[in-house]
Amino acid sequence: MGIFETLSFALPELVLVIGAMGLLIAGVFLGDSAAKHISLASVGLLLIAIILVIFGPGAPTASLFDGAFRIDAFSDFAKVIVFAAAAVAILMSDRFLGGEELGRPEYPVLIVLAVFGMSLMVSATDLISLYMGVETQSLALYILAAFNRDSRRSTEAGLKYFVLGALSSCLLLYGASLIYGFTGATSFEAIASVAKASDANIGLVIGLVFLISGLAFKVSAAPFHMWTPDVYEGAPTPVTAFFAAAPKLAAMALFVRTMVTSFPDVIDDWRPIIALIAVASMAVGAFSAIVQTNIKRLMAYSSIGHMGYALIGLAAGTSSGASAVLIYMSVYVLMTIGAFACVLMMRRRGGMTENIADLSGLSRTNMPLALILTILMFSLAGVPPTAGFFGKWYVFLAAVDTGMIWLAVAGVIASAISAYYYLRIIWFMWFDEPAPAFERDTGPVLRFAAWACALLMFPILTVFMGPLIKTAEWAAASLF
């Protein structure tokens, strides 16, 4: 393959990175006043990238750069959702950043660069490209967490994220070096051909444990979740909305691809680890969230719990498990974006409010918002017939199919416990004395995003779950 033919397969990434650099230069020359236009332009870039992923030139499956970068249905699926989630996150930030006088052209540029890292992650089929994709993404995210540099909490969030993220990168690299040492290969395909069940080396397994630890940090699964609540609370709210959606899906997709394509024959060694992480995450998500009073912290613990459910699908290690992870994560991304759109609408005269108590009696002061939040909370809790229920259903089904009934039972118990705090919010909104009303003027983007996500959760996806499942199955099949 010539260089131009090779590059034509990586066109979405090229568009993103070259566009980001162009916008950066434009931002420098036009100054902070152009932040809004740069935002819109970067949303345009992401849309172009989505179109290129779906309709772009090149074969549907290709492996580039000596097997470092792979395009297949799985990466296409993840990329489309990541790009879309990032575009919505940029649009949702506009008003908030303008209000806090944080509107700077570098903000959307950094998001686009982070998205570039994520798209490298979901296409990575080599330990080196895995690491470099993770670093590209993480470095941009550290900066975004500390974006409100005059706020002590934001800088604290950025620093905490950076230090712990660097530690997790160390674990990941150490694991990767052990795996390279014991298999003599860095590409997933070559590792899979060496790592056979019969001679599963103890050194390889130790490397695998470290690699899993590093990746578990990136998806914020327990016991590597410590950074999540602090970073979510401290970072500016639109940044948190972005953190909770796109990077989670990208990291989870990377996790699935790494485990399933490079260690398929040693699944008996890594399945218990993943199952343990899944149970721990669900437990942390279920119990720690109960005592939270800040809605951003609550969402952080809730996302830890959701990662646990998604990891059940990975623990299954089958094609239906991988497709269940994709279904779960797509639904999760939609729910999270909707929930954060609602959090961004919690604005009173004098600033944002983040306490759960501020939602009291919302049904009487702001009926539409209460309705949206109710649907989203039901969906997050996994109550039928919302889409959140179907996400959990397929994950549990995949676990039962591989004979891990105990894991599915643990998941059901955890979701029953976590339903308590989701339903508590609904109780506050419908049956409590009203707190002062929020400002009505929230801007069309937030309203549209919140409505769209809520309606997708129920009833649109309830009825049209079939196409999503078909697409996810088609995407997951390309891994096996």
Partner 1 sequence: MSLAAIAFFVFASAAIASALMVVVSKNPVHSVLFLITAFISVAGLFVLMGAEYLAMLLVVVYVGAVAVLFLFVVMMLDVDFVELKQGFLQYMPVASVLATIVVVELIFVVAVWSLPSNVELAHPSPTAAETVTDPNGPTNIEALGLILYTDYIHYFQIAGIILLIAMIGAIILTFRTRDGVRKQDPAAQVARKREDGVELVDIKSGQGLS
Which chain residues interact with partner 1 by CB under 8 A? 17, 21, 24, 64-66, 68-69, 104, 106, 109-110, 113, 116, 120, 128-129, 132-133, 135-136, 139-140, 142-143, 146-147, 149, 158
- Choice between 47 and 128, CB closer to partner 1: 128
Give the position of tokens 């069309």. Answer: 444
CB of 2 to partner 1, least distance (A): 13
- Choice between 113 and 335, CB closer to partner 1: 113
Torsion of the alpha carbons at 453, 457, 461 and 467, rounded to the nearest 10: 60
Distance CA 16, CA 114 (A): 10
How far from chain centre, in Å, is Cα 408? 22
- Choice between 18 and 290, CB closer to partner 1: 18
Q: Omega of the bond prior to 444 within 30 degrees of 0, cis?
A: no
CB of 339 to partner 1, least distance (A): 28
Torsion of the alpha carbons at 174, 179, 181 and 185, rounded to the nearest 10: -130
CB of 305 to partner 1, least distance (A): 31
Of 127, 161, 384, 366, nearest in space to 263 by CA: 127
What residues contact 466, with CB distance under 8 A and at least 6 apart?
A: none
Pairing mode, if any, of strands 62-64 and 347-348?
Answer: unpaired
Token output for 220: 């914020």
CB of 348 to partner 1, least distance (A): 29
What residues contact 297, with CB distance under 8 A and at least 6 apart?
A: 229, 232, 233
CB of 404 to partner 1, least distance (A): 37
- Choice between 53 and 144, CB closer to partner 1: 144
CB of 18 to partner 1, least distance (A): 11
CB of 254 to partner 1, least distance (A): 15
Task: Let me know if 265 is exposed, middle or buried by CB neighbors in 10 A (0-12, 13-18, 19+).
Answer: middle
Token output for 91: 């649009």
CB of 117 to partner 1, least distance (A): 8
Angle between helices 73-99 and 237-262 (to 10 degrees): 170
- Choice between 97 and 341, CB closer to partner 1: 97
What are the Cα distances from residue 299, in Å, to 141, 371, 470?
Answer: 18, 18, 29
> Under a CB-based contact definition with an 8 Å cutoff, are residues 63 and 69 in contact?
yes
Token output for 254: 């990377």
- Choice between 109 and 331, CB closer to partner 1: 109
What is the dihedral sign for C-alpha 376, 381, 382, 383?
negative
- Choice between 136 and 281, CB closer to partner 1: 136
> Under a CB-based contact definition with an 8 Å cutoff, are residues 19 and 45 in contact?
yes
The radius of gyration of the chain's CA atoms, rounded to the nearest angstrom, is: 21
- Choice between 89 and 277, CB closer to partner 1: 89
- Choice between 63 and 294, CB closer to partner 1: 63
- Choice between 131 and 227, CB closer to partner 1: 131
What is the biggest distance separating any 2 CA atoms in the chain, rounded to whole angstroms? Answer: 68
Residue 307, Ramachandran bin (φ over 0: left; ψ between -120 and 50: alpha; else beta): alpha
- Choice between 186 and 303, CB closer to partner 1: 186
Q: Omega of the bond prior to 384 within 30 degrees of 0, cis?
A: no
Q: Identify the bridge partners of residue 71 per DSSP, sorted by sequence position.
A: 62
- Choice between 28 and 47, CB closer to partner 1: 28
> Under a CB-based contact definition with an 8 Å cutoff, are residues 264 and 192 in contact?
yes
CB of 110 to partner 1, least distance (A): 7
